[in-house]
Amino acid sequence: MSTVRRWIRAAVSRKVKVLDLNFGPSSEDEVIELPKCLITCDSLESLRLFLLGRMLSLSNAGFSTLKVLEMNLVELIDEDSVKSFFENCPLLEELNLFDCLLNKLVTLCISSESLRILRIDNRNLDYTEDTPDDYDLESNMILYNNEGLCNSLEVCCPELVYFQYGGHIAYNFDFENMGSLKVAVIHPEDMSQVDLSFESMGDTICELFAGISNVEALSINLYFVQALKDRLEDRVRHVADEIDGFWQF
């Protein structure tokens, strides 16, 4: 990491605007901390991180000039620091979390006054309890157990216009100040292999759908529709049972 830090300091000294940090595979449980010189860099506008499942420790201080942040295969480990970090990136307009490991967070809270584009996509994460013998660290597939995702996703972004969510979903959603949202792309994956009932899945999808109901353009997939359909059928059966019980009484 010392060599990487020297390269980062050199880039910062040259007023870097766009920076990609791509780490190779490692068999150690390594925690990455972003150098202070990078966080305080007054020229950096775009940062992409590829950590191959390494843990990232975020400070409460965010990037003062960053407009685009993309995290790939990053494990976030402290929800309070994550929340504060996003809140303290005052110019952040685009945030992409691709295949990030969130199992150490009870709640992923993304609160930003400036964010306009948010993508959370974990479709390359595999819900598998046992690691196969031929598992390759260099593969883009990171293995999760059933506790792989955070329990809740909270989003409070008054300027957000585009929201994309793909893959396995959180169990609870809380959206606030989302009146500017215009486009939503929601493509959940089949969760039948996870210990989650169809009723719970339907409730979760309904909760998610309610939070984006004001959009002008919506893209959903079969699993989204099926979960809504199953939940609606459950409610219809419940109402029918109550009516039958009333007349029998």
Q: Pick the closest to residue 118 from 55, 71, 171, 63 (CA basis).
A: 71
Helices of type H across 14-150: 36-39, 79-87
Burial 111-129 (b: 16+ CB within 10 A, else e): bbeebbbbbbbbeebbbee
Please tell me which residue, 241 or 167, carries the higher pLDDT value: 167
Confidence label for 27 from pLDDT (cuts 50, 70 and 90): low
Facing residues of 170 across strands?
none
pLDDT digits 0-9 by tens, 66-97: 999 999 999 998 999 999 999 999 999 999 99
Confidence label for 225 from pLDDT (cuts 50, 70 and 90): confident
Close Cβ partners of 157 (under 8 Å, ≥ 6 residues apart) = 110, 111, 112, 113, 115, 118, 177, 178
Number of domains the chain contains: 1
Task: For residue 144, give the H/E element and its range.
Answer: strand 142-144
Close Cβ partners of 147 (under 8 Å, ≥ 6 residues apart) = 103
The span from the CA of 249 to the CA of 243, in Å, is 10
Supply the range of the domain harboring residue 34: 2-248
pLDDT digits 0-9 by tens, 183-199: 999 888 765 544 444 45
